Structure 1
């Protein structure tokens, strides 16, 4: 079975990675330096993912609002 985790914009990976570190720093979660998330608490991982999703939705809403006002 193929993975559905492919990015629509391939070079967006770096921007998403940067956002992950920014959001983690804002909410006080330490990102593992070795890249292994197996020791991260489920609550922290969920908070991180939820905040990233919230930020992405806000960005999309702002873009759509900008297009609608033109």
Structure 2
């Protein structure tokens, strides 16, 4: 099954793919990924990798926010626009 997830920023997909393999290695699944391939991994295994990736990305974002002493105006506008778009999609508009 092809990967339908697309990175928001061009060029980020290759970095995310490398990150996925790094996380798989950290949690002891790298050998299975290499021998069986992603398509033969269980949902639980792939979910573990995705969950750990999310946890690490949130930690990185928190660290960056702490270093910059808050949220930038651009990030705040983007988050507001994303929330508004999600609300419109949920309402069927």
TM-score, shorter chain, exceeding 0.5: yes
Q: Which runs of 5+ in 2 are unaligned?
A: 71-93
User: Please, what TM-score do these two structures have when normalized by structure 2?
Assistant: 0.60
Higher helix share: 2
8 A contact 2:20–2:53 mirrored in 1:
yes
| Pairwise CA distance, 1:15 | 1.0
3-state secondary structure, aligned to 1:6: coil
3-state secondary structure, aligned to 2:13: helix
Q: Which runs of 5+ in 1 are unaligned?
A: none
3-state secondary structure, aligned to 1:44: helix
Aligned residues: 65
| Pairwise CA distance, 1:37 | 2.4
User: Please, what TM-score do these two structures have when normalized by structure 1?
Assistant: 0.77
Superposition CA RMSD, Å: 2.1
3-state secondary structure, aligned to 1:10: coil
Provide the C-alpha distance between the structure 2 equivalents of 1:28 and 1:67, rounded to a whole number of angstroms.
Answer: 34
| Pairwise CA distance, 1:38 | 2.5
